[in-house]
Structure 1
Amino acid sequence: MIKQKNLLSVLCAGLMGLSFNGFAAEGDESGFTVGIDYGRTEAKKYCDNIVTCDDTDRGPKFEVGYDFNKTFGVELGYTSFGTIFDSNDNSVQIKQKSNAVTLSVLGNVPVGDYFGVYARLGYARYDTNNSGMVNGVAIRDEHGNTPMWGAGVKFNATEQIALRVEYQNYSDLSDMPGHKDDVKGLFAGGIYRF
């Protein structure tokens, strides 16, 4: 927990430093952003060959970011995947809840005055809280780092408010006995620009 707080402090300080280093020229629509999204996540391979299993849930996503201009920005975020693995099979009885802290760069392509498409590429520090057993052996919690990416569309409702829908993919989010799995999510929400 202390390591995550230190990482968040360093990343926030880095974002603040970037915003004042002259990267963004005056008048090019730079500024800070805050985003809130809600979506559905899935870890599809987890339930392969398990009869009683649920691999989907819903959860929120929060971001703070900085737009250097209309086409380039960065975001620091927190995503809750909810319970992405819940099995009560004879040999596999596990419940797994996951979340991640992310840092990503965004590339935006405006489509007229109101619409835009964007993509993100980043890094996630994930935590999974496991409870249960596989063949009588208790499963430990997992923590790790993984790449993530996303793509979405947005609608600029005003100069400060935009609505967006985004698909995200987190590679090999956690290690279940025998295999890893990507967690995919479809999120919808909005961002506010200062």
Structure 2
Amino acid sequence: MFAVIVGAALAMPLFAQAQNAYVGVNAGNAELKLSGDLGSGKEDKTGYKAYAGYDFNQNFGLEAGYANFGKLKDREAGASVSMETSAFYLAATATLPVNPQFSAFVKGGVSQNRTKAVLSGFGQRFSGSEDKTSGMFGIGAAYHFNQNISAVAEYENFGKTYSENGAKLKASLVSIGVRYKF
């Protein structure tokens, strides 16, 4: 699955020569929710994403990208834990043009999430990473300044990014950004 997502992301620059291809960058609030047997909590971090897509027509398209949700850190009683989460995703998009300047969209697809964890304390250090494939979905809106440049606001949920020993980590991103359509 990871190879499909990476292949699609690498193929996107080829679409740049074609009409209806786009690229974009977003930044915003990444929420990391940790739950498990020992407790739960959530932390907000600055997250960002870079993406490329292709609109087959004014209503349907395909998008691939990379999102980084920041690092979750906690320190208690001489021990510390650090978890950094990111995702590659591939999603089908559906767009509803409201008028020439404004459109709404939804997306659904799959993400390959990676969480790197480091636990240290009491003279010991453990580290590892976990890859987890999860469904993802998003909803958003775009304001089109002209036929090439748009401002974008969206919410995306990337599902579980980590699951081990009863602990689960989920990630989502609320972001704004700029999209350039070729």
Residues 7, 156 of structure 1: CA spacing in aligned structure 2 closer, same or farther, 3 A cutoff?
closer
SS for the counterpart of 1:141 is: strand
SS for the counterpart of 1:140 is: strand
Once the 2 structures are TM-superposed, how far is the Cα of residue 159 of structure 1 from its aligned partner? 0.6
1:182 counterpart letter in structure 2: K
Once the 2 structures are TM-superposed, how far is the Cα of residue 9 of structure 1 from its aligned partner? 3.0
Aligned to 2:176: 188
Residues 55, 101 of structure 1: CA spacing in aligned structure 2 closer, same or farther, 3 A cutoff?
same
Aligned to 1:175: 163
Q: 2:153 aligns with which of 165, 169, 190?
A: 165
Q: Distance in 2 between matches of 1:10 and 1:106?
A: 15
SS for the counterpart of 2:128 is: coil
Q: 2:91 aligns with which of 104, 117, 136?
A: 104
Superposed CA deviations along residues 110-161 of structure 1, whole A, max 9, x for unmatched, are 1111111100001111111111159978352111211110001110111111
Verify the 8 A CA contact 2:32 2:69 in the aligned structure 1: no
Deviates more, 1:90-99 or 1:71-80: 90-99
Q: Distance in 1 between matches of 2:143 and 2:8?
A: 32
Verify the 8 A CA contact 1:147 1:170 in the aligned structure 2: yes
Once the 2 structures are TM-superposed, how far is the Cα of residue 58 of structure 1 from its aligned partner? 0.9
Aligned-pair identity (%):
22
CA RMSD of superposed structures (Å):
3.1
Residues 7, 159 of structure 1: CA spacing in aligned structure 2 closer, same or farther, 3 A cutoff?
closer
Higher fraction of strand: 2
Verify the 8 A CA contact 1:15 1:66 in the aligned structure 2: no
SS for the counterpart of 2:34 is: helix
2:20 counterpart letter in structure 1: G
1:33 counterpart letter in structure 2: Y
The total of aligned residue pairs comes to 179
Aligned to 2:104: 117
Q: Structure 1 unaligned runs (5+)?
A: 21-29
Once the 2 structures are TM-superposed, how far is the Cα of residue 16 of structure 1 from its aligned partner? 5.8
Superposed CA deviations along residues 11-68 of structure 1, whole A, max 9, x for unmatched, are 6449969x99xxxxxxxxx511001111111123359847xx8722112200111111
Q: 1:8 aligns with which of 6, 9, 21?
A: 6
Q: Distance in 1 between matches of 2:49 and 2:165?
A: 28
Q: Distance in 1 between matches of 2:39 and 2:121?
A: 14
Aligned to 1:126: 113
Q: Distance in 1 between matches of 2:105 and 2:134?
A: 21
Q: Distance in 2 between matches of 1:67 and 1:153?
A: 15
- The alignment status of 1:75 with 2:73, answered yes or no, reads no
Question: Whose RCO is larger (CA < 8 A, sep 6+)?
Answer: 2
TM-score (norm 1): 0.79
Q: How does 1:80-99 map onto structure 2 within 5 Å?
A: 80-83=68-71, 85-90=72-77, 93-99=80-86
TM-score (norm 2): 0.83
Once the 2 structures are TM-superposed, how far is the Cα of residue 93 of structure 1 from its aligned partner? 2.3
